[in-house]
Amino acid sequence: MTFGVVDVQSVLRAVGIATEYQLKGHKLVVVVSAFPNVTEELAVISEKALDGNLEMMNEFVQRHLQHHINTATECIRDQNILHKVVEELNENSLEMRGILRSIARLRELTARSKDFVLSFGERLSAPILCGATAESGLRSEWLTGGDAGITTDEKFGEANPLMDPTVRKVRAKLEGMLKDGKFPIVAGRGAASPHGVTTTLGRGGSDYTATLIGASLDADEVLIWKDMGGFMTADPSIVPNARLIQKISYAEAVEMAYFGAKGIHPRALQPGMEKQIPVRIRSFLDRTNEGTLIAGNREVKTGVVVKSVTLVRSVAMISVTGAGMAGLPGVAAKVFKVLGDAGINILMISQSSSEAGISFVVPREKLQQAKNALGLGLIGAEFQIASEDDVCVVAAVGAGMKGTPGVAARVFRVVAENGVNVRMIAQGSSELNISLIVAEIDGPKTIQAIHEEFKLGE
């Protein structure tokens, strides 16, 4: 299971939940995240270290060290355990100060050294949870992701797991601890290359660590505890009567997560999907609710077509058009290669039947970079590049959409009845979603209309 620790109360809740499961005879591996904003601040300070301001580095490290010591002091009453935790926090902080000072002195920040800096968020929270569980009577031990056996390539910043060595090493390390009655606590996000160099998993973070470990150990279930209880039929801040979805398939969860539903990053679902291990998302604020179960089989209930409507903001639409594109082979491939070489992710694609235009969606902050790359990459060609940055993506997702006639017609009808102009449409090959591009100002209205049309609040 994985815990997103936020404050003293969330640490104590995590201890209570872990103790409860242990007393019921379950064998647990717990993955812990960094405290809020710590990873983001580590990313910022690693960049600022290039200025060479050693005093700023020292102040940053001391501030975070003191915050974690204060949290530990409030969580742990046993002075012997607390003393050990504070020693570990001091050691990790000393190491963090060392790498930041090296960056400051060399005036050089590599992707490799940045990964090392980012790993300290969880390396500071894990000892606290470990000490708090030890005080409750559990035999606990904390490890980094690399120590636990998670092995990746050396694509620093967003490393890819190497599953064969990961499975082998995780089993060798954690199975022995579990048989011995120990309670492993793994610092999320971090991993190690085959040469032992610290890497980070990037998107998916601690949840990804949990599903990798669950898949490696053939776990019965991966349990992810968050402040929210799972996937919703819509964002409740937009649709007040949105409700929790009790069960969805992996395919549906991936589509929903990709298109902005809060719950889990789609990348983190991959290990569980491959091993068909159920993943459950629950809220530690509402223990009476079983949350959302993500399992292998597609749940298609009679009359249930759409399960959720999601919204992705901060996107932009680019259109590449030109009469010379019609019937010309390789144009789409060239456009997407240019964007791929520039490191720009494409969220949606649509091409006209005349082949005279391609439209696609990119993150809004990448818009200018994408236009510049296309301008250079397509130089000499008679193409026009146009863009719109006041748009958002609305996606209707559900396994029941596949093979059900008239779903798109219902979506477009209700959207039109609410006076919303659709600028682009796309449907995935899985037939599990229909995605629309509308003006950003119309996004909430579109979500509400589709949610009501398919009676998702009932």
Q: Answer yes or no: is 268 within a domain.
A: no
Question: Binning pLDDT at 50, 70 and 90, where does residue 259 land?
Answer: confident
Based on the domain organization, do 91 and 202 belong to the same domain?
A: yes
Question: Binning pLDDT at 50, 70 and 90, where does residue 385 land?
Answer: confident
Q: Answer yes or no: is 239 within a domain.
A: no
Based on the domain organization, do 200 and 323 belong to the same domain?
A: no
Question: How many domains does one find in the chain?
Answer: 2
Question: Binning pLDDT at 50, 70 and 90, where does residue 329 land?
Answer: low
Based on the domain organization, do 180 and 55 belong to the same domain?
A: yes
Whether pLDDT at 315 is above 90: yes
Q: Answer yes or no: is 274 within a domain.
A: no
Task: Report the 3 state secondary structure along the chain.
Answer: CEECCCCHHHHHHHHHHHHHHHHCCCCCCEEECCCCCHHHHHHHHHHHHHHCCHHHHHHHHHHHHHHHHHHHHHHCCCHHHHHHHHHHHHHHHHHHHHHHHHHHHHCCCCHHHHHHHHCHHHHHHHHHHHHHHHHCCCCEEEECHHHHCCEECCCCCCCCECHHHHHHHHHHHHHHHHHCCCEEEEECCEEECCCCCEEECCCCHHHHHHHHHHHHCCCCCEEEEECCCCCECCCCCCCCCCCECCEEEHHHHHHHHHCCCCCCCHHHHHHHHHHCCCEEEEECCCCCCCCEEEECCCCCCCCCCCCEEEEEEEEEEEEEECHHHCCCCCHHHHHHHHHHHCCCCCCEEEECCCCCEEEEEEEHHHHHHHHHHHHHHCCCCCCEEEEEEEEEEEEEECHHHCCCCCHHHHHHHHHHHCCCCEEEEEECCCCCEEEEEEEHHHHHHHHHHHHHHCCCCC
Based on the domain organization, do 15 and 160 belong to the same domain?
A: yes
Q: Answer yes or no: is 299 within a domain.
A: no
The CA distance from 277 to 221, in Å, is 6
Residue 288 pLDDT: 82
Based on the domain organization, do 323 and 211 belong to the same domain?
A: no
Based on the domain organization, do 105 and 209 belong to the same domain?
A: yes
Based on the domain organization, do 200 and 333 belong to the same domain?
A: no
Residue 68 pLDDT: 96
Based on the domain organization, do 63 and 187 belong to the same domain?
A: yes
Q: Answer yes or no: is 374 within a domain.
A: yes
Based on the domain organization, do 71 and 189 belong to the same domain?
A: yes
Residue 277 pLDDT: 93
Residue 125 pLDDT: 95
CATH label of the domain that carries residue 422:
3.30.2130.10
Q: Answer yes or no: is 358 within a domain.
A: yes
Q: What mean pLDDT comes out for the span 271-285?
A: 90
Q: Answer yes or no: is 421 within a domain.
A: yes
Please give the mean pLDDT across all residues of the chain.
Answer: 89
Based on the domain organization, do 214 and 317 belong to the same domain?
A: no
Whether pLDDT at 449 is above 70: yes
Single out the residue in 220, 254, 270 at which a domain terminates.
Answer: 220
Q: Which of 458, 313, 456, 334 is nearest to 390 (CA)?
A: 313
Residue 356 pLDDT: 66
Q: Enter the pTM of the model.
A: 0.88
Based on the domain organization, do 424 and 325 belong to the same domain?
A: yes
Q: Which domain holds residue 404?
A: 308-453
Residue 162 pLDDT: 96
Q: What is the pLDDT of residues 154-211, one digit of tens each?
A: 999 889 999 999 999 999 999 999 999 888 999 999 999 999 999 999 777 889 999 9
Whether pLDDT at 285 is above 60: yes
Q: What is the pLDDT of residues 25-75, one digit of tens each?
A: 889 999 999 999 999 999 999 999 998 888 888 999 999 999 999 999 999
Single out the residue in 185, 203, 220 at which a domain terminates.
Answer: 220
Backbone CA torsion sign across 410, 412, 414, 417? negative
Q: Answer yes or no: is 297 within a domain.
A: no
Based on the domain organization, do 214 and 313 belong to the same domain?
A: no
CATH label of the domain that carries residue 126:
3.40.1160.10
Single out the residue in 220, 251, 268 at which a domain terminates.
Answer: 220
